[in-house]
Amino acid sequence: MDYVAIDFETANASLTSACSIGIVAITNDRIVFEKEYLINPQESFSEFNITIHGITSKMVADEKTFSELWPEIRGFFQNTLVFAHNAEFDIAVLKALVEKYQLDTPSIKVGCTLKVAQRIWKGIVPNCKLGTLSKYLEVDHNHHDSLSDALVCTKIIERAKRVKNVSSEEELYEALGLIFGGYNKDKYWGSFTQYHKAKPGEIIDNPDIKNKVVAFGGKPKGLTRKEFSRKLLINGAYLAKGINRGLDYFIIFENCPKTKIEQLKLYKDRGCLIKELDEEQIMRMLK
């Protein structure tokens, strides 16, 4: 598969209350699979959510729970690229369900069609909601029907690739200055605006640093912050300005602000596997 597009609908405000998932799989720019699965969330339905998607507790009473459905759909979430509109919500739902039922953790890259649309059509359309985009792209759409929403995601990607004259989703993200998120057994992070990186011809092949997302606090000895940043970039790192769940390394120099260290601790307490490095360790790693 080139990629999978998904959309979840929930029974209430809880992330664990998924009552529907739409899945569309794309291979060679063609749909090879499309299906909506109703899910018994084993949770109550709120009237507000019912008015949004029209799914009621009676409609899902005899459907599988997500735990029972998982063996059937797990293959769509193993070493695949998964897109959703406002992907942080849908992947957060997936993560919550995996944890609720103690399922095998997926291993996926995460793309966000909302971020793609904002890069291409912001200012051209009133907003980048799926309903607005489907009208602009002139595609059929039943809003908050999970399969219909997932299908519109594929149309956004298809049109965006034509607009940017690229042939793959990876090239599209590169052209738009975006970086994929991900979810695996080690961590979960969202799709971000691309971090600063050196030009390809300037990058040294350093497997310890290449494609790692790095941030630092304080200032190294004998170098300005700008000089040190340059060293990270030519070793192939993505340079982030602040601490977030997508970091691979955070470098703590002697004069690192206490607030940065406290912020790092908060992220690590939430389960983010960010590796801390001191000045001696990072200097040994750099070429």
The single-letter DSSP state of residue 64 is: P
Residue in 207, 182, 198, 35 with CA at minimum distance from that of residue 94: 182
Q: What is the pTM of this model?
A: 0.78
> At 135, which amino acid appears?
K
Structure tokens at 271: 């389960």
**Helix (H) or strand (E) segment spanning residue 31:** strand 30-38
pLDDT, one tens digit per residue, over 76-111 is: 999 999 999 999 899 999 999 999 999 999 999 999
**Residue 185's pLDDT is what?**
84
pLDDT, one tens digit per residue, over 129-153 is: 999 999 999 999 998 899 999 999 9
In angstroms, the Cα distances linking 40 to 45, 67, 183, 191, 282 are 11, 10, 24, 29, 49
Whether the per-residue pLDDT at 172 is higher than 90: the answer is yes
Ranges of each domain in the chain: 3-193, 200-285
In angstroms, the Cα distances linking 132 to 5, 113, 129, 162, 163 are 18, 13, 5, 19, 18
The single-letter DSSP state of residue 54 is: -
CA–CA separation, 50 and 20 (whole Å): 12
Looking at domain 3-193, its CATH superfamily turns out to be Ribonuclease H-like superfamily/Ribonuclease H (3.30.420.10)
Weakest mean pLDDT among 103-112, 240-249, 251-260: 240-249
For the domain bounded by 200-285, which CATH number is listed?
3.40.50.10190
pLDDT, one tens digit per residue, over 5-64 is: 999 999 999 999 999 999 999 999 999 999 999 999 999 999 999 999 999 999 999 999
Whether 148 contacts 163, CB under 8 Å = no
